[in-house]
Structure 1
Amino acid sequence: MMQKKAVDSVMEKIIAQDLEHKELESNFWTMSNHKWALLAWASAELDQSAALVHLDWHWDGINDFREPESRGELSALASLDELREMIADRDRPVDYASFIAPAILFGLIDEVHFYCLQDDTTPGLSSDLLDETRAKEYRHHNIDDLLRTTAKLSKPILFDLDIDLFNRATPFYLDGPEYHERIRSFLGKCSDLIQRAAVVTIAKSPSNYWIKNEGHYDWDEELAGELFNEIVPIVR
C-alpha cells in the first residue's frame, strides 16, 4: 500500500495537470485536461455559433448538464471568471469527456464534426441534446471526408485536437521515424483547416492510460510529452 506522502504527491501532480492550460497566442490554446477547451471557446467571444472540428481518440460526447441543478449552474454563469472556476472545480460537471455539451448549450457551437477512433462506447452526442438545441453532428470515418465537408463551411471553425488520436495502439501505430512522419503528414493535410480556424485547442491527455507505447496498456508519459512538443509547433 502506498504511504500517505506518496499518495499526496500523486494527487498533487494530478491536480496540477488538471489545472494546466495556456493561451500561447491569441486564440491558440494548449492544455493537459481537455475540459479547458470550453474556456478557450468562450474566451474568443465569437459573434455567431461555430462549427467544432473534434479530432480525438475519444468522442467526449457526455452531457453532464441533464439535471435541473446543473442546468441552473450553467445558466447562472455571468463571466469568464465564473466559467473558469466551474471548470477548475473537480466536483462540478465539466470534465475531460463532457466539455462539448455545455458549449452547445451555451450556443457557442451549433455543429460538430467528429473524427474519432474510439469504438467501445456510444459515438457522438446524445440525441436528446441534439433535439433540444437543434445542433448537428457529423461522424467522419476518415480525415479526407472531414476536410472535404468542412472546406464548404462559412461559419467560424474551432479546431480541437487531442494528441491521443496518435496513440500507438491506433491505426497510426508504426515504429520509429515512420510513426512521426505519419503524424506530420496527417497534420499537413489539416493545414488549411487550421489556418481558417477561429480558435485552435490542443490537449495533452494526461490520464494514466490515454497514451500507449508499443501496444502496451500503460501510459507513456515520455511519449506523451514528446508528441505534444512535436505537434504544437506544427499546428502553431
Structure 2
Amino acid sequence: MSEDQERWIRRFHPVSGAPVELVCFAHAGGSAAYWFALSKRLTPGVEVLAVQYPGRQERHREAPLTQLHTLADRIAAALPPGRPRIFLGHSMGASLAYEVAARHSRTPGGGPAALLLSGRRPPSRHRADADRLVDDRALLAKVRSLGGTGTGLLDDHEMLGLVLPVLRGDYQALASYEPTAGTPVSCPVVGLAGAEDPEAPPDDVGAWGEHTTGAFELRTYSGGHFFLTENFASVADLVHELLPLPA
C-alpha cells in the first residue's frame, strides 16, 4: 500500500487475493471504525476498505477538509481504479461515494461495479440549506436528533473538544457542496433508506435512480437515520447478491 493509501484507507481484516473490494465511506462526524463490524462479517470473500477522513482517530492532528469535492479528489487519488470494487456510503459518505465514482468513471472501465448509497438525498433532491447550521448549539442539536453510535460522546466535555471540530468541518463541506452535473455514472445503484428517516426518506432516496444510466433498486429498512447500523447483515447479503462471490 502506498503512503497515500496508508493515510486514507483502513483494512481491518486484510484478505489476500479477494475477488472484490468494498470501499466504505462514513457519515458526517464518523470514522473508518464505523465499518469494522461489516468488514468482519464479509471476510474473507470480500476485502473491506474503510476510508479514514482527516481530523479523526489517528488523523486527529490533521484539520478536517471543509470542501466535499476536495475530499473526493483526495480519496479518488488514494484509490486509483483498477480492481473490481463496490462503493458503499452512508449519509455524507453517500455523496462522497458518488463523487469518487464520478471521478473514477472518467477513466474507461474505471468506475465501481456498483454503488450502494444510504441515508442521503441525491443531487436532484439536494437541499444545501438543510446542512447550514447557524452555530455549534444548532449543530449539536442536529447531530443528537439523528442518533447513531457515538452520540453519547457529545455529553463528555473532553471528547466534545475533539469531536466538535470534525463535525464543524463535515457540515461546512455539506453546506457548500454543489453536486457534479449530469449523469456521471453508469453502474448499478442501490439506494438504501430508513423508513422513519426524516433526513432522507425513502421517496427521496429513490431519486438516486435519476443519477445513473445503469440499473437502480431501492431497499427500505425499518429505523431512522442510522438504520444501517442494525442492518449490516442485510448489507453483507446485498454485496453477495451484486457480484458472484462466495457466500
Q: TM-score, normalised by structure 1?
A: 0.35
Q: Which structure has the larger Rg over C-alpha atoms?
A: 1
